[in-house]
Structure 1
Amino acid sequence: MDRRDVLIGLGATAALSGMPARAATRAVPKGFLWGTAISAHQSEGNNVNSDMWLNEHVKGTLFREPSGDACDSYERYAEDIAIAASLGFNTHRFGIEWARIEPEPGVFSMAALDHYKRVLETCRKHNLKTMLTYIHFTTPRWFAARGGFEADGAADLFARFAGTAAKHFGSLVDYATTFNEMNLPRLIPVLVPGYEARRALIDRMLNASAKACGSDRFSSWVFAPADRIVPPTREAHTKAYAAIKAEAKHPLGISLSMQDLQPVAGGEAKVKELNKALYDDWFDLPSDFIGVQTYTRIQVGPNGPVPAPKETEKTAAGYEFYPPALGNMVRYTAKASGKPVIITESGIGTSDDTRRVAFIDATMKEVRACLDEGIDLRGYLHWSLLDNFEWTSGFAQQFGLVAVDRTTFKRTPKPSAAHLGRIVRSGGI
């Protein structure tokens, strides 16, 4: 460890020592994964060859601001990993950027592959297990300009990229997922009010991106219509699963955005219908575990989602503060899929760190209850390590345990980081 690593560790230890004593806990299972999650585009910065970078800059963009330097994590990854390790975590989930690794069709950058290999090696140096995400919403610009996953041969191109990366990284990867929240294209139209009106704005942005790169089409995965993108996404996952497994032996799963759908006023049948379309339809895909990513509950009436009661607390992202959603969806997933579960994301967007601490405490109760019920729950990864670029919301929302100065990129762990770190270090919940 260099001097900076030592200082980070000492600072975290000092913060932890100032926290009040916690009640007695019970141990979590041996090998339980404790960590944070982060993505490539949201933290690395200057991902100029990606589809999202272009979408951020065209006239008519839906993005509040461009990602720019983001958190400069492409250069500062060692500092980020050292912070995570100093807090007591044993796992680091991060994404690799396809647009950096394959900037042109069939042209693989050994420099980019070696960069991510160094990230993995740095995790090993700090005794952190690694969980890799092969695609976290972004794709290369050339891939989007040929029609993205909607174009012929797309699944084979993704599998080629995934297999190439898996071979290069070898045994440095401990866990991985193919797509982040691969059910999201189905979820967005259901849960976003006024989506149909917004669809026209999305198409205008994508058309502008197509024109900017001299193509007659431009398909960004996260913005694609569900009826067109879901079938090729399933095919791409299946082929990538085989390609990765041919090169690596680590557990390989899927991650799903799984918000807790609760019926109100006769909405039981609608909830059952939505659960099947949004969640159950993905459980038959080849996977060694299901990554549950839950942030809130959605109340559902006979015709679909209804607004949360006005008196309920809302997060900065506009959804209801409802930690029990996490336990509910872990239970649902374990029962419906019959597979091991890892909480690959859980967190809260807020500028009030006391509410993040409260959210963490409430979700820890859910984790403890699921373990006590005998559910095969193998880990909890908090979203996110850093305050980073939150897609169309820009930098307006803070999900991180660590604040990042937008000018100097100085990292400052928040009290919530020390709080969660203390829970992890205790060895139990």
Structure 2
Amino acid sequence: MDRPYSLGSTLLGCATSATQIEGSPTKNSWYDWAEESGRLKDASSPKNANQHWQRWREDNRLIQEMGLQVYRMSLEWSRIEPEEGHFCRQAVNHYRAEIEDLQKMGVKVLVTLHHFSNPSWFESRGGFLLKESPAIFLRYVTYVVEAIGDLVSDYVTLNEPNVYVTLSYFLAQWPPAKHNPGQAVRVMRNLVYCHLTAYRRIHRIRAERGFPGRTMVGFAEHLRVFTPAQPKDRPLANGMEYLFQGLTEAMYTGRLTLPLGVEAPLGDGRFYDYIGINYYTRIWVHGVNTAGRPGRPVNDLGWEIYPEGLGILMRHRYKRFTAPIWVTENGVADRDDKYRCRFLYDHLRQIAESGLPVERYYHWSFMDNFEWAEGETAAFGLIGCDFQTQKRTIRRSARFYKEIIQNHGVTQPMIDHYLR
């Protein structure tokens, strides 16, 4: 039964990533990938996307109109370091202007430092397979935080490192399209180092420079519920869960587990200030089947819609790591906007009724964008976008979300209007 609920002090906003919305070609791994025939579901390219690099002021006005309290954005590494060791102050100033404009509107900005795309020069050298990749990444992080640390106190070091490793180095669906378990382990190990060293460096820079605000650093972890269909499927479900989202626990504690290793390279410690959860769906493990549970509602990509999973995962991660929870991504591919209102209501209800310290919720995504291998075919946005005309359209679900923000929850009139 639908009933009103309050979200209390949870701040509500949206998330985007630079490569997925900016357009304006730059030399990175995804721009290069899209040039190869057959790599994407359609013939699109991130070179187009939402043209946000030029249209950011227009998009910021939409953010203001929506009443977003928080906004998660990423920086395009290849714009900031277009050649190895050579940084572009003009690109940084562009991002500073965008962030300052959001802050004038009262929007709190969370910056993601790496969201799947690599500069072409880094990718061509081997990317995160390189032994020195953590040092290369740390150089970039240092430059960025020294340049914007007076504006930004909140950071995501890496977005979904487990997804990046799985799709790029195991399933070979993303660049550089490797199917090599040994390389997957190596990349994951290096990404752990990247996060651990970046976490400490960001804290050190902001403390030494006396930058204002409480420094909050974490990573955005893609989590799924792995449900065995029958008791005999439990060992496989447990194994899949460990390999997909168990190894990332090293990013919280600093201690590697097999097959990554058994040591703590920077010592045992706490390398997080919040628990960042990206949640979309669950995996129904039935023999070789790893899709959703049969008969359940699915989104446009065929992913099961399972709101209870968000509550399950929040409770699990909070019990393990006891920190404020930030839902750094949660959304649904729904081009016709048929069930996004219901999706929002059900998932936010999990937060409202959890009793957990959920400080922030970032809906994915603010607007339809370039969705990696899906190209322009997957519509996750509260704001629709015609990629040819660049016309933005405020969807019905966006109006619902705006009212949720205004009311700090869901009222009975909202239920009657949007969910009946």
Structures share fold, TM-score greater than 0.5? yes
User: Which amino acid in the other structure matches residue 281 of structure 2?
Assistant: T
Contact map agreement 1:99 1:141 (CA 8 A) in 2: yes
Q: CA deviation at 1:322?
A: 1.8
Q: CA deviation at 1:186?
A: 5.2
The reply on whether 1:264 has 2:229 as its aligned counterpart is yes
Contact map agreement 1:63 1:391 (CA 8 A) in 2: no
Q: How far does the alpha carbon of each residue in 1:305-326 deviate from its partner, in whole angstroms, 9 at most, with x for none?
A: 5343443222111211222222
Equivalent of 1:340 in 324, 342, 349:
324
Contact map agreement 2:292 2:304 (CA 8 A) in 1: yes
Q: CA deviation at 1:337?
A: 2.5
Provide structure 2 residue ranges, at least 5 long, that are not aligned to the other structure: 207-213, 252-270, 411-420
Equivalent of 2:108 in 129, 145, 155:
129
The reply on whether 1:72 has 2:51 as its aligned counterpart is yes
Match of 2:221, SS? strand
* Alpha-carbon distance in structure 1 between the residues aligned to 2:292 and 2:367: 28
The reply on whether 1:279 has 2:230 as its aligned counterpart is no
User: Which amino acid in the other structure matches residue 159 of structure 2?
Assistant: N
Match of 2:8 in 1: 28
Q: CA deviation at 1:268?
A: 2.9
The reply on whether 1:366 has 2:332 as its aligned counterpart is no
Contact map agreement 2:7 2:352 (CA 8 A) in 1: no
TM value normalised by structure 2? 0.84
Q: CA deviation at 1:77?
A: 1.4
Closer/same/farther in 2, CA of residues 322 and 23 from structure 1, 3 Å limit: closer
Equivalent of 1:51 in 12, 29, 35:
29
Match of 1:409, SS? coil
* Alpha-carbon distance in structure 2 between the residues aligned to 1:289 and 1:139: 25
Q: CA deviation at 1:362?
A: 0.9
* Alpha-carbon distance in structure 2 between the residues aligned to 1:134 and 1:93: 11
Match of 1:376 in 2: 357
Q: How far does the alpha carbon of each residue in 1:392-411 deviate from its partner, in whole angstroms, 9 at most, with x for none?
A: 11101100000112222121
Provide structure 1 residue ranges, at least 5 long, that are not aligned to the other structure: 1-21, 190-194, 208-218
Closer/same/farther in 2, CA of residues 63 and 98 from structure 1, 3 Å limit: farther
Match of 1:19 in 2: none
* Alpha-carbon distance in structure 1 between the residues aligned to 2:126 and 2:285: 34
Equivalent of 2:139 in 160, 164, 167:
160
Q: CA deviation at 1:101?
A: 0.3
Q: Superposed, which structure 2 residues align to 1:24-423 within 5 Å?
A: 24-29=4-9, 32-59=10-37, 61-62=39-40, 64-65=42-43, 66-185=45-164, 187-188=166-167, 199=172, 206=176, 225-248=183-206, 250-266=215-231, 267-285=233-251, 286-301=271-286, 306-370=290-354, 373=355, 375-423=356-404
How big is the alpha-carbon RMSD for the aligned residues of Structure 1 and Structure 2? 2.5
Closer/same/farther in 2, CA of residues 340 and 270 from structure 1, 3 Å limit: farther
Match of 1:18 in 2: none
User: Which amino acid in the other structure matches residue 79 of structure 1?
Assistant: E
User: Which amino acid in the other structure matches residue 156 of structure 2?
Assistant: T
Contact map agreement 2:165 2:187 (CA 8 A) in 1: no
Q: How far does the alpha carbon of each residue in 1:148-179 deviate from its partner, in whole angstroms, 9 at most, with x for none?
A: 01113111111110111011112311421011
Aligned residues: 380
* Alpha-carbon distance in structure 2 between the residues aligned to 1:406 and 1:111: 27
Contact map agreement 1:185 1:229 (CA 8 A) in 2: no
Q: How far does the alpha carbon of each residue in 1:191-227 deviate from its partner, in whole angstroms, 9 at most, with x for none?
A: xxxx97x64x76xx748xxxxxxxxxxx89xx99522
Match of 1:296, SS? strand
* Alpha-carbon distance in structure 1 between the residues aligned to 2:165 and 2:133: 19
* Alpha-carbon distance in structure 1 between the residues aligned to 2:135 and 2:154: 22
* Alpha-carbon distance in structure 1 between the residues aligned to 2:289 and 2:279: 17
* Alpha-carbon distance in structure 1 between the residues aligned to 2:142 and 2:129: 21
Contact map agreement 2:283 2:293 (CA 8 A) in 1: no
Closer/same/farther in 2, CA of residues 310 and 263 from structure 1, 3 Å limit: closer
* Alpha-carbon distance in structure 1 between the residues aligned to 2:241 and 2:320: 10
Match of 2:338, SS? helix
Q: How far does the alpha carbon of each residue in 1:291-311 deviate from its partner, in whole angstroms, 9 at most, with x for none?
A: 11111111124x565343443
